[in-house]
Amino acid sequence: MSIIKKDYDKNYFENAFYKEKPESQRNRNRIRELIRHKKRGKLLEVGCGEGNFLKEAEKYFDIEGVEFSKYATNKAKRILGDNVSRGNIENISLQPAYYDVIMVFNLLEHLGEPMKTIKKLFDALKEGGILIGSVPNNFGIIGGLATALSNIIDKTHCSTYSPSIWHEYFTESGFNEVQFFGEITIGRNRSFYVKNIFWKFISFNLIFVCKK
């Protein structure tokens, strides 16, 4: 298996250096953050991978997942059935004002025109709905180096912008409240959040919580 990721195949999701585990501490962190804002309702995860986060989220929400990778979609369907479908978010249609929550973990940096997708997700949320997700934190020495390294390893990255650009995209798409904080990852399955004023300087990922 290669460390370099060029396609969304098995090597992208599982290789000698990492494999996401069900019920990982990182997914539990995501659930705790989510239920601080919403405790129930219809939830869509775009780029749901092998379905591990959705498996946790279905304890609280009515879940759906969309995944581009054929390999990951097939794995997710084994545990979540028809709640997961294969599709490219840039091309598919979403029902307007339908979801209470949409999750997009490390997805937007893979899109050539992420603002178009952000606007599509905004339109698919109910009034008061929430968009939660993450992108590489391309800021400062630590975030910049982490982003540069991830771009070398993951050749599917094409939109790794600074926090100020992402903030502009979210607000121009219509979100009323945009909150940023940081995530420091330890392998694929562990992480902790940084919510103090230093998050931009020490975090690998930028976490966003956007309210409609």
- Residue 131: predicted pLDDT: 98
- Walk me through the domains of the chain, giving residue ranges and CATH numbers: 27-211 (3.40.50.150)
Amino acid at 142: I
Task: Write out pLDDT tens, residues 166-211.
Answer: 999 999 999 999 999 999 998 778 899 999 999 999 999 999 999 9
Task: Write out pLDDT tens, residues 73-103.
Answer: 999 999 999 999 999 999 999 999 999 999 9
What are the CA-CA distances from residue 116 to residues 85, 112, 192 (Å)? 21, 9, 30
- Residue 3: predicted pLDDT: 66
Show the tokens assigned to 151.
């771009």
Integer Cα distance of 83 and 64 in angstroms: 5
pLDDT over 90 at 20, yes or no = no
Integer Cα distance of 66 and 150 in angstroms: 23
pLDDT over 90 at 2, yes or no = no
> Checking phi first, is residue 190 left (phi over 0); if not, alpha (psi -120 to 50) or beta?
beta
Range name among 7-16, 60-69, 108-117 with the lowest pLDDT average: 7-16
- Rounded to 10 deg, the angle between the 163-172 and 114-124 helix axes is 40
Range name among 21-35, 134-148, 194-208 with the lowest pLDDT average: 21-35
Cβ neighbours of residue 26 closer than 8 Å, sequence gap 6 or more: 185, 188, 189, 190, 191
pLDDT over 80 at 19, yes or no = no
Show the tokens assigned to 159.
């939109």
Q: What is the mean pLDDT of the chain?
A: 92
pLDDT over 90 at 13, yes or no = no
